[in-house]
């Protein structure tokens, strides 16, 4: 029997709470579907800093490299805001992305019909919304050198005497591989890709545009490709998000645009994400799965968090890492059923009120629906 | 009698059409209020490229430096999309910003009550919205060196063999001066500033946060200051934009966030902007005014464009550059009256229909309302 290995990194804030509900779901699949998961758990982010003095230990990094899939909760919190940059919780997450080479970050922004009224946008603008943002995740200004804060004392014009530098750097190869991922995904969806950059002001944006076009013309001419400046992209996401199918963009633009897109749906607590790398020996990609929401320190430990985003992230792992598409479908349908039954965590309560269920109750409902 | 100098740069697309309506407004003030404007006109963007082979001639640049205020229409269009980077229409605009040292770009996002239903957001989320984004405009990744596209042929890992580079670079002095502008403006409004960066992943963002905090603690402790990561900022603008008063952010984040904020209002054709530099001999800042909308090549030359954003940009010039606050008020009230009377250009037509007025008719209505 195949054993599926999974490394769980709950992280900070609400991470551990939502992950406990995923454990219940895993338990259900083991008991009722005869699947065997080899689940290990470890620390990342502030939790790892508290124990090891750094946000990801080398042992944890090695473990992440050896499993079929990593499931991460969230990192960061006010307690760690004043740590030195090199040991901030975020560095743990960024190290995982970089060393596992997870270059394609898939962020679906889907508006669940039962929840369309939670959006700050009008129902007719977002109902049925289903876009996929493919964000480059291992390069760009997140990782480019040189970087740092330097003294600039010999510059009398510079009151304050310091200078802060980061470098946006992309190679054509880095652009091509994430473009391919976007085109592949588009073929299984609406067959349209919109690429976003600032080619009107940045040379790295010109290279981005040219390389995406090259991949299109040489390998994916059947997919419809358009280009848009990222500022216009931000506007168009607000104005009429349903005009898009797949959006491909760089690390930093992807960070802002995918968050804006996620918020359009009105149900951030529902959105999973997958970060995929190159295929491993078994043919499946290196992979890490995470909810789109953050660590939400303001509600941590209170049983208020919505575990659905993390549970749906596990569903993505079932599909992309374990090739268990039927099980993924089953889990997604269970979530839909629970929502259709009107079960709601606090973040999903409308103005009309009602009694929200706790994190654990939501998990129980989903297991029951399975 | 004082003569107020103004350089008009209509630029491309709908720029010339909307500027013609500003001319009518200027004429009205000369005839009926005894003001004297010394108006000159010149080329920028694609229009300048067509004549001079570059998007801003040295003569035009010198002229811009010598006037009280510059009023710019818009630059760019598909005709110029394949020009070399160094002569793209945008370079003309960027040269003006850089050489006039217009470091503080004021982008109000105001939701006009008569137009709240045009927003893609729910009325109760945006009605009464009045936020001001102060975007740094002369530094950051727009201007940082090194930059460019290079060959990377000796890197076998790099399929495609090229690398694109831009540099995000901020000095503490550059951050402090735009922070001061934001705090000054906040004092005249809601007294709250929210500063946005990515200090969790970029050292330049750490410097940004520290310097804004320094200016606050040492000079503006009476103003409420908060900090937010820019991705969360993009989310919060969608979720609940009215939580903000003044937002201060860097050049690139400001580009995306101000466009998203503008779109929230549902009436992009209404929004003016001001770009201000250091005070000149007369005590007034160097200044350029522009509508937030772009050159809209798809509707150029058809008399469909809304001239209000450009007319309100001139109202900002009256206020900030000529110290004619009463005249600015008068002009703004005339615009409000015309809107209240139900006069609408095509961009402001709701689903219920009606007959839109042309660009010229809108200008005439506003002059009549004056
Ligand atoms: C936590 C942070 C480092 C991260 C990022 O900036 O990429 C987050 O915002 C995200 O989008 O996953
Ligand atoms: C036209 C372009 C160069 C410009 C920018 O990127 O700054 C525009 O988008 C703006 O926001 O004024």
CA gap B287, B72 in Å, rounded: 11
How far is Cα A360 from Cα B144, in angstroms, rounded to an integer? 50
| β-sheet bridge partners, residue A4 | A37
Claim to verify: residue A64 and residue A137 sit in the same structural domain:
no
Q: Which domain holds residue A104?
A: 1-110+269-370
The pick from A255, A295, A297 for probing ligand 1's pocket by mutation, whose C-beta has the most ligand atoms within 8 angstroms, reads A255
Same domain, A240 and A299: no
Pick the atom of ligand 1 nearest to A90's CA.
3
Q: What is the pLDDT of residues A318-344, one digit of tens each?
A: 999 999 999 999 999 999 999 999 999
Which atom belonging to ligand 2 lies closest to the Cα atom of A201?
3
Task: Report yes or no on A208 lying in a domain.
Answer: yes
Cα atoms found within 13 Å of the Cα of residue A197, Cβ hemisphere only: 28
- CB-CB under 8 Å, A165 with B166: no
Distance CA A243, CA A232 (A): 13
> pLDDT band for position A351 (50/70/90)?
low
CA–CA min distance A339, chain B (Å): 22
Q: How far apart are CA B72 and CA B56, in angstroms?
A: 12
Best residue of B121, B158, B166 to probe chain A, by most A CBs closer than 10 Å? B166
Q: Which of A90, A164, A234 is the closest to B204 by Cβ?
A: A164
Last residue of one domain, picked from the residues A243, A264, A285: A264
Task: For B268, name the nearest residue in chain A, comparing CA atoms only.
Answer: A235
Q: Which residue has the higher pLDDT, B155 or A267?
A: B155
Q: How many domains does chain A have?
A: 2
Stretch A337-363: mean pLDDT: 90
Quick check: B304 and B294 in contact, CB under 8 A?
no
- For A12-88, list the strands marked E by DSSP: 36-41, 69-74
Domain stops at, among A207, A232, A264: A264
Encoding tokens for residue B200? 């969790």
Provide residues with CB under 6 Å of ligand 1. A 76, 90, 93, 255; B 200-201, 231
For chain A, how big is the Rg over CA atoms in Å?
A: 21
Q: Are residues A258 and A281 in the same domain?
A: no
pLDDT band per the 50, 70, 90 thresholds, residue B153: confident
In a domain, B311, yes or no: yes
Q: Which atom of ligand 2 is nearest to the CA of A198?
A: 6
Instruction: Please check the confidence at residue B316 and state whether its pLDDT lies above 90.
Output: yes
Q: Is A359 left (phi over 0), alpha (psi -120 to 50) or beta?
A: alpha
CB contact under 8 A, B256 and A231: yes
For residue range B88-106, what is the model confidence (pLDDT) as tens digits?
999 999 999 999 999 999 9
Q: Considering only CA atoms, which residue is closest to atom 1 of ligand 2?
A: B90
Let me know the angle formed at the C-alpha of B237 by A236 and B133, rounded to the nearest 5 degrees.
95
In a domain, A292, yes or no: yes
Question: Which residue bears the tokens 């190869």?
Answer: A173
Instruction: Please check whether residue B95 lies inside any domain of the structure.
Output: yes
The residue from A58, A231, A329, A341 that is catalytic is A231
Select from A46, A213, A232, A238 the residue whose CB has the most chain B CBs within 10 Å, as the one to mutate to test that interface.
A238
Q: In angstroms, what is the span from residue A255 Cα to ligand 1's centroid?
A: 7
CB A230 within 8 A of CB A114: no
Yes or no, beta carbons of B163 and A157 under 8 Å apart? no
The answer to whether residues A4 and A51 belong to one domain is yes
Report yes or no: A9 and A19 within 8 Å, Cβ to Cβ: no
- Regarding whether A218 and A182 lie in a shared domain, the answer is yes
How many angstroms separate the Cα of A273 from the Cα of each of A269, A300, A362, B18, B209? Answer: 12, 21, 20, 45, 29
Q: Which of A4, A49, A142, A170 is catalytic?
A: A142
Buried b (16+ CB within 10 A) or exposed e, B129-145: bebbbbbbbbbbbbbbe
Nearest C-alpha neighbor of B355 from the set B366, B344, B347: B344
Q: Are residues A139 and A236 in the same domain?
A: yes
Q: What is the CATH number of the domain that holds B97?
A: 3.40.718.10
B213 within a domain of the structure (yes/no): no
Q: Which of A119, A129, A128, A114 is nearest to A339 (CA)?
A: A114
A277 and A258 both lie in a single domain: no
- Mean pLDDT rounded to a whole number for chain B: 96
- Tens-digit pLDDT profile for residues A274-306: 999 999 988 889 999 999 999 999 999 999 999
Least CB–CB distance from B152: residue in A171, A232, A294:
A171
**Tens of pLDDT, residues B52-61:** 999 999 999 9
Residue where a domain stops, chosen among A264, A294, A325:
A264
In a domain, B293, yes or no: yes
In contact, B244 and B131? CB cutoff 8 Å: yes
Distance (Å, whole) CA A59 – CA A41: 12
Best of B55, B90, B250, B252 for a ligand 2 pocket test (most atoms within 8 Å of beta carbon): B90
pLDDT band at A114; cut points 50, 70, 90 = confident
State the ligand closest to the CA atom of B257.
Answer: 2
Which residue matches tokens 């901020």? B170
| C-alpha B100 chain-centroid distance | 15
Q: Does the annotation mark B259 as catalytic?
A: yes
Contact B37, B30 (CB under 8 A): yes
Distance CA B146, CA A147 (A): 13
On whether A152 is known to bind a ligand per the annotation, the reply is: no
Tell whether A312 and A260 lie within a shared domain. no
Q: Please name the residue whose Cα sits nearest to atom 6 of ligand 1.
A: A255
- CA A164 from centroid of its chain's CA atoms: 28
Let me know if residue B16 belongs to a domain.
Answer: yes
Sheet of A130-136: strand order equals A36-41, A3-11, A69-74, A285-291, A272-279, A104-110, A130-136, A246-249, A192-197, A224-229
CA distance A105 to A274: 6
Query: pLDDT band at B351, cuts 50/70/90?
Result: low
User: Using one digit for the tens of pLDDT, what is the confidence trace for A239-265?
Assistant: 999 999 999 999 999 999 999 999 999
User: How far, rounded to the nearest angstrom, does the alpha carbon of residue B185 sit from its chain's CA centroid?
Assistant: 16
Known catalytic residue at B255 = yes
Q: Report pLDDT for A235.
A: 96
Instruction: Spell out a b/e string for A29-52, using b for 16 or more CB atoms within 10 Å of the CB, else e.
Output: beeeeebebebeebbbbbbbbeeb
- Reported as type and span, the H/E element at residue A153 is none
List the one residue out of B314, B262, B226, B256 whose CA is nearest residue B129: B262
Pair A221, A342 in one domain: no
CB B243 within 8 A of CB B262: no
Q: Which of A163, A175, A204 sits opposite B166 (nearest CB)?
A: A204
C-alpha pair distances (Å), B50 with each of A45, B9, B46, B93 = 55, 15, 6, 15
Ligand 2 surroundings by CB, under 6 angstroms: A 200-201, 231; B 76, 90, 93-94, 255
Same domain, A294 and A184: no
User: Are A240 and A134 in the same domain?
Assistant: yes
- Indicate which of A155, A195, A256, A296 best probes the interface with B, i.e. most B CBs within 10 Å of its own CB: A256
Report the chain A residue with the minimal C-alpha distance to residue B199: A85
pTM recorded for the entire structure? 0.96
Read off the CATH number of the domain in which A165 is found: 3.40.50
Mean pLDDT of B101-113: 94
Distances from the Cα of A285 to the Cαs of A68, A314, A332, B339, B369, in angstroms? 8, 15, 22, 57, 65
Q: Are A353 and A346 in contact (CB under 8 A)?
A: no
Residue B289 lies in a domain: yes
Q: Are A27 and A61 in contact (CB under 8 A)?
A: no
């Amino acid at each position: 029997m195949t054993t599926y290995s999974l490394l769980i990194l709950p992280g900070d804030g609400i991470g551990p709470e939502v992950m406990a509900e995923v454990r219940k779901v895993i338990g259900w699949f083991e008991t009722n579907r005869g699947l065997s998961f080899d689940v290990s758990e470890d620390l990342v982010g502030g939790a790892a800093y508290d124990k090891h003095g750094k946000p990801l230990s080398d042992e944890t990094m090695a473990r992440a490299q050896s499993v079929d899939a990593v499931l991460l909760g969230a990192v960061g919190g006010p307690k760690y805001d004043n740590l030195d940059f090199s040991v901030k919780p975020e560095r743990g997450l960024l190290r995982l992305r970089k060393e596992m080479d997870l270059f394609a970050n898939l962020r679906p922004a889907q508006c669940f019909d039962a929840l369309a009224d939670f959006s700050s946008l009008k129902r007719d603008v977002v109902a049925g919304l289903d876009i996929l943002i493919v964000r480059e995740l291992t390069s760009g200004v997140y990782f480019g050198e040189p970087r740092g804060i330097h003294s600039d004392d010999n510059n009398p014009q510079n009151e304050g005497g310091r200078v802060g530098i980061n470098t946006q750097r992309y190679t054509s190869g880095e652009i091509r591989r994430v473009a391919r991922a976007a085109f592949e995904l588009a073929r299984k969806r609406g067959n349209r890709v919109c690429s976003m950059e600032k080619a009107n002001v940045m040379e790295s944006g010109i290279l981005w545009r040219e390389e995406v076009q090259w991949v299109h013309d040489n390998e994916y001419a059947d997919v419809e490709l358009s280009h848009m400046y990222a500022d216009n992209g931000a506007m168009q996401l607000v104005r009429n998000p349903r005009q898009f199918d797949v959006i491909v963009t760089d690390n930093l633009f992807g960070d802002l645009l995918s968050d804006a897109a996620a918020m359009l749906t009105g149900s951030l607590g529902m959105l999973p994400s997958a970060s995929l790398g190159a295929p491993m020996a078994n043919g499946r990609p290196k992979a890490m799965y995470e909810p789109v929401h953050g660590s939400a320190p303001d509600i941590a430990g209170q049983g208020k968090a919505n575990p659905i985003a993390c549970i749906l992230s596990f569903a993505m792992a079932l599909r992309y890492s374990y090739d268990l598409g039927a099980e993924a479908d089953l889990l997604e349908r269970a979530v839909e059923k629970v929502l259709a039954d009107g079960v709601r965590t606090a973040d999903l309560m409308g103005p009309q009120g009602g009694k929200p269920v706790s994190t654990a109750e939501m998990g129980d409902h989903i297991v029951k629906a399975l």
